[in-house]
Chain A
Amino acid sequence: KAGVTQTPRYLIKTRGQQVTLSCSPISGHRSVSWYQQTPGQGLQFLFEYFSETQRNKGNFPGRFSGRQFSNSRSEMNVSTLELGDSALYLCASSLGTSGLSYEQYFGPGTRLTVT
Chain B
Amino acid sequence: QQQVKQSPQSLIVQKGGIPIINCAYENTAFDYFPWYQQFPGKGPALLIAIRPDVSEKKEGRFTISFNKSAKQFSLHIMDSQPGDSATYFCAANLYGNKLVFGAGTILRVKS
Contacts and interface: CB of A to CB of B under 8 A. Distances in A.
Interface string B70-99: 000000000000000000010101011111
Interface size range of chain B in the complex: 20 to 34
A90 B91 CA distance: 15
Given A42-B104, A43-B89, A102 B46 contact: no
B34 interface: yes
Interface stretch (A12-20, A66-74, A76-84, A105-113): A105-113
Contacts, number: 67
Given A90-B43, A109-B43, A102 B101 contact: no
Nearest to B93: A102
Interface size range of chain A in the complex: 20 to 34
A87 to B, nearest CB: 13
B97 A43 contact: no
Nearest to B36: A106
B46 A103 contact: yes
Interface in A36-57: 42-45, 48, 50, 55-56
B102 to A, nearest CB: 8
Contacts of A103: 34, 46, 49
Given A90-B44, A102-B32, A107-B43, A35 B49 contact: no
Interface of A: 4, 31, 33, 35, 42-45, 48, 50, 55-56, 58, 90, 92, 94, 96, 98, 102-109
8 contacts: A33-B98, A43-B104, A92-B99, A94-B97, A96-B96, A103-B34, A106-B45, A109-B42
User: Closest 10 CB pairs between A and B?
Assistant: A106-B43, A43-B101, A56-B98, A102-B32, A108-B43, A106-B44, A48-B97, A102-B93, A109-B43, A31-B97
